[in-house]
Amino acid sequence: MTEEPGGQRDGNAPGRGTRLDIVTIFPEYLDPLGVSLVGKARAAGLLDVRVHDLRAWAHDRHHTVDDTPYGGGPGMVMKPEPWGEALDAVLASGPEPPDRPPVLVVPTPSGRPFTQQVAHELAAEPWLIFTPARYEGIDRRVVEHYGARLEVRELSIGDYVLAGGEAPVLVMVEAVARLLPGVLGNAQSHRDDSFAPGPMAGLLEGPVYTKPPEWRGRGVPEVLVSGHHGRIARWRRDEALRRTSGTRPDLIEGADPAAFDKHDRATLSALGWRPGPDGRFGRPSADVEE
Ligand code: 6GU
């Protein structure tokens, strides 16, 4: 999966699918991209994933990629020169003439939140370059330099701190890959995803069941075996409202009230929610749930 400087210039050929380049000091950390959904998308030619070892562009005896921070303080900072050479090489390996420049995705806990909306935006791009960092991050001049040439998106996967950006890259690539046309078997597969745009926008998915009909004394909700599609859809929506109310009340508070029909409003009312002066829902008694 790894390749040295001076590699191929055959990038983004039509029919090779979305191209993803990842520059890292731990190429093997990205091995899971050969497995499961992403692995299958690659095998099917829907994704062209190339993992590069940053140390291939560190020319001293020890392939040094970090140094002490200017201004002092704990930890180390990633040096700009290896990143500059690595990114120039990856950019030069793209199609000639370039059709559409890549988007540079910089994982950092200081970035904007990576959301389902961002995943959709990235899935619309033909070429993404990821720069997962270790230590205290990359010398700021690298983002400034490429930011003057390319669209750069600094993204965080949540409010906690990881040791490096490789795990966030695995997260982002999986979220993006499953949105690419042809990757999931069924075009409807992400219609009801939590956070997907559409009728269930902003609601969490409720519980799901499969056979057997009874397991350890527990049956399945009768409505799901009724064959009554209207009642099933309504039950699923009520369960989504109940789940969202219980675990993510912020999503109910932030929801566009126009998204709630008459039955939704009755369900929300039973869960303790009341429309406020602006029409948005709030819960005066924040301990009423489930
Ligand atoms: Cl993208 N990187 C690191 N190191 N920590 C994080 C993160 C990214 N997102 C949340 N925590």
Q: CA-CA distance, 134 to 165, in Å (whole number)?
A: 7
220 in a known ligand binding site: no
Q: Please check the confidence at residue 10 and state whether its pLDDT lies above 80.
A: no
In sequence order, the β-bridge partners of residue 56 are: none
Average pLDDT over residues 2-21: 56
What totals of helices (H) and strands (E) does the chain contain, helices first?
Answer: 8, 9
Could you tell me if the CB of 162 is within 6 A of ligand 1? yes
Q: CA-CA distance, 282 to 172, in Å (whole number)?
A: 32
Could you tell me if the CB of 108 is within 6 A of ligand 1? yes
CATH code of the domain covering residue 219? 1.10.1270.20
Whether residues 257 and 134 share a domain: the answer is no
Q: CA-CA distance, 285 to 194, in Å (whole number)?
A: 25
Average pLDDT over residues 17-25: 97
Task: Give 57-67 pLDDT, tens digit per residue.
Answer: 999 999 999 99
Could you tell me if the CB of 109 is within 6 A of ligand 1? yes
Instruction: Give the residue among 82, 137, 130, 146 at the shortest CA–CA distance from 109.
Output: 137
8-state DSSP, 219 = -
Element (H, E) at 241: helix 229-247
Number of domains in the chain: 2
pLDDT at 238: 98
Average pLDDT over residues 234-263: 97
Cβ neighbours of residue 216 closer than 8 Å, sequence gap 6 or more = none
The reply to whether 193 belongs to the active site is: yes
User: Under DSSP, is residue 167 helix (H, G, I), strand (E, B) or coil?
Assistant: helix
8-state DSSP, 138 = B
Give the distance (Å) from ligand 1 centre to CA of residue 258. 35
Whether residues 23 and 157 share a domain: the answer is yes
pLDDT band at 286 (very low <50, low <70, confident <90, very high): low
Average pLDDT over residues 240-266: 97
Q: Which is it for the CA torsion 198, 201, 204, 206, positive or negative?
A: negative
Q: CA-CA distance, 176 to 173, in Å (whole number)?
A: 5
Task: Give 161-185 pLDDT, tens digit per residue.
Answer: 999 999 999 999 999 999 999 999 7
Q: What are the structure tokens assigned to 262, written together? A: 């008459």
Whether residues 40 and 150 share a domain: the answer is yes
pLDDT at 97: 82
Give the distance (Å) from ligand 1 centre to CA of residue 26. 16
Q: CA-CA distance, 202 to 216, in Å (whole number)?
A: 34
Whether residues 26 and 120 share a domain: the answer is yes
pLDDT at 3: 41
Query: How far is residue 1 from each of residues 90, 119, 176, 193, measured CA to CA in Å?
Result: 14, 24, 20, 32
21 in a known ligand binding site: no
Out of 178, 197, 223, a domain closes at: 178
Whether residues 22 and 135 share a domain: the answer is yes
Q: Please check the confidence at residue 210 and state whether its pLDDT lies above 50.
A: yes
Give the distance (Å) from ligand 1 centre to CA of residue 134. 10
Give the distance (Å) from ligand 1 centre to CA of residue 62. 27
The overall average pLDDT reported for the chain is 92
225 in a known ligand binding site: no
Amino acid letter, residue 170 = L
Range of the domain at 227: 214-282
pLDDT at 96: 87
What b/e sequence results for 23-46 when a residue is b if at least 16 CB atoms lie within 10 Å of its CB, and e otherwise? bbbbbebbeebeeeebbebbeeeb
Neighbours of 218 (CB within 10 A): 8
Whether residues 226 and 163 share a domain: the answer is no
Task: Give 91-141 pLDDT, tens digit per residue.
Answer: 999 988 888 999 999 999 999 999 999 999 999 999 999 999 988 999 999
Give the distance (Å) from ligand 1 centre to CA of residue 114. 10
Task: Give 33-47 pLDDT, tens digit per residue.
Answer: 999 999 999 999 999
Q: Please check the confidence at residue 234 and state whether its pLDDT lies above 50.
A: yes
Q: Please check the confidence at residue 209 and state whether its pLDDT lies above 60.
A: yes
pLDDT at 66: 98
Mutate to test the pocket of ligand 1, among 161, 166, 170, 172 (most ligand atoms within 8 A of CB): 161
Neighbours of 290 (CB within 10 A): 8
Whether residues 151 and 273 share a domain: the answer is no
Mutate to test the pocket of ligand 1, among 29, 162, 166 (most ligand atoms within 8 A of CB): 162
Q: Please check the confidence at residue 192 and state whether its pLDDT lies above 90.
A: no
Portion of the chain with pLDDT greater than 70, in percent = 90
pLDDT at 98: 80
Find the catalytic residue in 193, 243, 257, 289. 193
Could you tell me if the CB of 70 is within 6 A of ligand 1? no
Whether residues 26 and 142 share a domain: the answer is yes
Whether residues 161 and 222 share a domain: the answer is no
| Residue 113, domain member (yes or no) | yes
157 in a known ligand binding site: yes
pLDDT at 58: 98
Instruction: Give the residue among 171, 169, 108 at the shortest CA–CA distance from 142.
Output: 108
pLDDT at 290: 53
Whether residues 40 and 133 share a domain: the answer is yes
pLDDT band at 284 (very low <50, low <70, confident <90, very high): confident
Cα 19 off chain centre by: 16
Q: CA-CA distance, 223 to 264, in Å (whole number)?
A: 18
On whether the CB atoms of residues 257 and 235 are closer than 8 A, the answer is: no
pLDDT band at 5 (very low <50, low <70, confident <90, very high): very low
